[in-house]
Chains A and B, each alone.
Chain A
């Protein structure tokens, strides 16, 4: 129990902070923050698997998050029949061509010896394939995008349940990680960081500009939800009864019947949004707990020990017969898949997919700050990092505003510096997060909850 005391203390502080937000701001805001904290925790766990277990630096979190989000659109949105009929066939042929290209190149790589001829052959396969793709897809894309462009203009998805898309998001991200890993994992650590950062940028720019796929920057709104809709709740009698019972003491004081009805309506509207958020919280909590159990089991299994050995001394581990390359690739895929799941969860929570909002600052660097601050190699630390940094990120502006008002209270309201500072309050979040990262790296380089090695 004693060894867990600091974990419990840190988590209690976090929970108290969120409860304080609930009391002083509103419960709806507190739950929104909590949901995002849970999503961030999943992302952080993914990054922690790569960095904490294996020492792989992945600055491409943004790309995997976006792919997870794309999976939600491709799986849960109802298919657009008209678009499929005008362009679906050509797009299917294009997929066939890509698959054929891959197999042809693999075949050439296997059968022909390494020579200049082989390089030319591969280059010509790629060029011919690309030209063919362009030739076949261009008219199809044009006709797909012209199908009711204000509402659809894309192929749509498969119309399957949205929860299934979380798994698919993980698979998509894992697939991308396989390709990226094959290309980049041999690089030295900081090269890997730059390469993954840039590859993520490519992925996002493809999602942004291929409008036939997921409407690109035109966004997809009104995605399916695994939770009930507020409107349905507000009209269902069981929910109204529930709210009435819950607030019965408050309602009894009001005498006038019509007034009581008004108050009740207000309460039902508030409660419905909280209820929906609670449903999401439950789902996210479930994901976090499942992942936590799995990652804890993995960390303390022989496999986890092997990963730590590889992380701490690659040469020694490979001398002992461990396949370093293979293990690195595996862990890169696993971590990215977890990030992909988080991306899908986030889009589901928002109910909309906005490729334009994927920026490296928010989706890569902040997540990395979470990993470093929370504690590398410690799953509880990773979750705590997700919670605390996200909380700071959201609440930095109110905190900054409070201090600005405090420090400039002697200045008149029209003072230019004061107005300028108050207007720039939102940017203090960068300052707080940056200073937080620098301080933690300097004075507690292994994070708030450092890695624990249990000696057996």
Chain B
């Protein structure tokens, strides 16, 4: 049986050392910095932090970040589910290429993404001039920032959903079709409930990336305070201006938005997984 024991089941000193190492690592790298940000933001009380957050530039950054996320996340969620269905359920020419393209944003530096967008949509870019002539400004404006955010947050939903689709297999969907369900009914009633938790997790990752993106967005935005400044850019700008309370307060706002997304997705997973929850309690008997 020795070989079936999990790592860490060993002698007490080893177990102890493993725990200390794991907790110490997390503490130093995650808990301490986040805690310090919180501490610094409210060091002088809630008043200054609140004042920093309600300044017009900060409010604008908050709104812009929310707008970008609210557009980019649903788009990429829908796209991610479609691509996942295509990759897991269909055979087509160029499938390997699509799969690789989906992963590309994970490998390309965001700065490169930003530069690429400028090459295509900038004033002297491929369609940038044409678009400007028709009154559409992409670079140094919100559309460009949305494009950058879309690009960097493409992979997450598809990458979460594909393995789940593969694992549940096609039998339930085939059963539904023999029972008369159309493709859409099958998707809505059979496939979607099964992949809902994976979508939820993918959306959390997408949102985190959309809220936190700095590199690509900073290049295409031009960082115009009160115009093209997202919350992450605002943090940087306040930091450079030696307004530490402002920087920390905006950071806390970012963290709160991310936490809210996590909470919302957790609720959605619980609701969607009601059946699974009942299973677990039923199997206990």
A binds B: no
**Footprint of A on B, CB under 8 Å?**
none
**Footprint of B on A, CB under 8 Å?**
none
